[in-house]
Amino acid sequence: MFTGDHGSQENGISWPTRFEQTIAQARYATLPWNGREVLVLDEVSRLLGDSVYLPSSISLIWDRQCASEAVAELLFDLRIQLAAELARRAGYRQRFVELGLFDAWELERFLTERRRAQPWVIYFSEHGGLGDGDSEDRGSTTTVLPAGGIVPCASMRNHGVAWFRDSEGTRTTRLITARKPGREWDWDSDIGHESAHAAFSPIPLFVQGDHTLGERFSLEPIRSPDELSPCHIARILYLFVEIPVLVLRGERRDNDSGMPTDSWAELIQLFRLSHQLMPESGFDRALAAVIRAQGRGFWGNDLFDMAAVVMRVTPLIEELLETESIPTLSWFERSSSYTKRACRSVRWPT
């Protein structure tokens, strides 16, 4: 059970003491994107609450220069912060059911069936950052060594997706989260937001790069799918990955729509294009919700209406996690048959 009391105990052992004992069992490893030696605690999920709404696999790594006491304190704080995070999501989760957009069992499946798709690694670096050799204010670059590499997020360079190759050459991805260089942990962005991605909305490698930035590849001027470049396709899928996280957390971006887009106009164009790419998949309903919300100047229940459509596409994105290649329009065509079947069973509220 979560608790914020440093003196709380389980089986007669206080949590800070338990964390210190666990840290002593850490193993040494080498980061595949920079060759740096770190200490690793695998599978710390049980120490952080072991909830079905958290990623199934959570690991903590830290630079050797970090004091063990600081690492133990981080574990304790993570336990408290993740408890608060799950409580925050619960109310927004229930709203989808109350509005008739999901049955309770459907939403439970959405929130739990991908928790094993992309393990989450929390990196406590000595000075912050991912240690990828790039400054915080530069664009996203891919750092590669023979054992693997990392692609930092273009807009949040202390977050990224790393890939690892095993002895047989099989590649798997991990979501990597650090704090900003020279900063304390941002519990909302670094932990709350990123834990949600790893739990139910995993991030493909190709959506991390500069090509997903709206200032460079906005969907607003695009009028038909034939005009979509690979970078525009990556941006569409980036938005599909981000929207469920924002809505299920009650998170708002600092722009007119509150969404991870530069304008209402781009959000409208996202759903116009998506409806053309995947007709009968509900995107016309999402488009109508956005237009209504823009007209009022605030979301109301239309926020959940819009997000519910995107969430029915999320399961399809899991198949793209291990690839660096941006999918082509044919991916949407193949996906459309799945979403048509899924949406036929939906009893959209009127």
Write down the pLDDT at residue 345. Answer: 52
In residues, how long is the chain?
A: 350
Q: How many domains does the chain have?
A: 2
Do 211 and 183 belong to one domain? Answer: no
| Residue 133 and residue 66 share a domain | yes
Task: Please give the average per-residue pLDDT across 258-287, as a whole number.
Answer: 93
175-210 pLDDT, tens digit per residue, is 999 999 999 999 999 999 999 999 999 999 888 877
Q: What is the pLDDT of residue 188?
A: 97
Contact call for residues 18 and 24 (beta carbons, < 8 A):
no
129 with 257, same domain: the answer is no
CB count within 10 Å of CB 261 equals 25
Same domain, 211 and 143: no
Q: Which residue range(s) make up the domain with 14?
A: 1-105+117-203
User: Is 346 a residue whose pLDDT tops 90?
Assistant: no
Q: Decide if 111 is inside a domain.
A: no
pLDDT digits (tens, 9 = 90+) for 306-320: 999 999 998 899 989
Over the chain, what is the mean pLDDT? 86
Band of the pLDDT at 322, cuts 50, 70, 90?
A: confident
Task: Based on the fold, state whether residues 195 and 297 are members of the same structural domain.
Answer: no
Name the pTM for this structure: 0.89
Decide if 283 is inside a domain.
Answer: yes
Q: What pLDDT was estimated at residue 7? A: 42
Per residue in 139-166, pLDDT (tens digit) is 445 555 567 889 899 889 999 999 887 7
> What is the per-residue pLDDT across 63-118, written as a single tens digit (0 to 9) for each?
999 999 899 999 999 999 999 999 999 999 999 999 999 999 999 999 999 999 99
Q: Among 203, 228, 254, where does a domain finish? A: 203
Residue 276 has pLDDT above 60, yes or no: yes
Same domain, 93 and 227: no
Cα angle value 146/180/234 (rounded, 5°): 60
